[in-house]
Amino acid sequence: MNMKKRIISLVCIAALSLGLFAGCGKKQEATTEAPADGKKEIVIGFSMDTLKEERWQKDRDILMARAQEKGVKILIQAANGDDNKQIAQAENMISQGVDVLMVAPHNAEVAATIVESAHAEGIPVLSYDRLIKNADVDLYVSFDNEKVGNLQGEYVTKMNPKGNYVYIGGAPTDNNAHLFKKGAMDVLKPFIDNGDINLVYEQMSKDWQPSEAQKHMENALTANKNKVDVVICANDGTAGGAISALAEQQLSGKVPVTGQDAELAACQRIVEGQQVMTVYKPIPKLAETALDLAIKMAKKEEVKTNSTVANGKIDVLSYLLEPVVVDKDNMMDTIIKDGYHPFEEVYKNIPEDERPAK
């Protein structure tokens, strides 16, 4: 042993004997400060399309509460409909070394870039509620979104199996919007084919904007001289826009309108008779299930799924939850019973002597 190596060796031995440092002579690896129990903190990133809608604010709040309950850290950023911003925010979380990245994409196609960036750093991606298209997504957690459309179509065809129908969809960039429409059209097709239902107008609504839906409804009423018998709206926001247009023609409450998401305003419209139904997708169950599965992914534990969904590139392993029809008759047994909205808020415009018993 030459003199230089001998000196280094003696220094290492002395330092170790004094407990000054460990690993002398070895390459030191960067480490993350661990909690008191010695385990590395799990960090989940969540890239959201928007926080402009009540529904997505609920997702955020429930995920934050669940993360605290489970003792993990969650980073949440929302792009509010800006694709470039969402990509930049996701890449920021990737650079911070999140263990798993959850993504609710604004644009199902563009978000494939996020998956590629995450995978390049060895980070798995969970597609949250909305499916990312044409990418090697690791897991998809959502509701059976074609069934959402089925439920809307089945509800109104039982009410009005004949007549002029209008379909107002969601954002063309959101894969879920296409699934909702497919589900509804699968139900309507036999009625259309035998001539009982005339689909007199159908349009998608940019970024799910109620103002877009209102314009579509105005155009549909003008084109058909107000002779519209049913309006299927893909969510409650678009339903609100359509109902505003119907109200201008004194048709609110006379033409059945569907929705989805069980937003407070929609639940109020239902008990007041302006909207016939919504599809309730219990957000607490979705958010809590997604976070629990993301934690399993972070720990590299087995993740149980119950379906696969094709995204144009692969059949994505999926965990799909069941949506529920809510109307005036079962509002108490669903929305109120689950504590999703307070009784007093849902029925605030209903005279007390006409409200159901708590």
Going by pLDDT thresholds of 50, 70 and 90, the confidence category of residue 37 is low
Is the pLDDT reported for residue 30 higher than 90? no
- The residues near 283 (Cβ < 8 Å, ≥ 6 apart) are 55, 58, 59, 62, 340
- For domain 145-281+325-354, the CATH architecture is 3-Layer(aba) Sandwich (3.40)
> Domain boundaries in the chain?
43-143+283-321, 145-281+325-354
Residue whose entry in the numeric block shows the structure tokens 């939850």: 321
Mean per-residue pLDDT over the chain, rounded: 90
Do the Cβ atoms of 226 and 249 come closer than 8 Å?
A: yes
- Identical fold, 43-143+283-321 and 145-281+325-354: yes
Calculate the alpha carbon distances from 128 to 21, 320, 332 in Å.
44, 11, 28
Is this model's pTM higher than 0.85 or not?
A: no
Query: pLDDT tens for residues 202-213?
Result: 999 999 999 999
Mean pLDDT of 69-82: 96
Is the pLDDT reported for residue 13 higher than 70? no
Is the pLDDT reported for residue 218 higher than 70? yes
Residue 191 has phi, psi (to 5 degrees) of: -70, -35
Domain 43-143+283-321 has CATH 2.60.40.10: no
**Looking at this protein, which amino acid is placed at residue 43?**
V
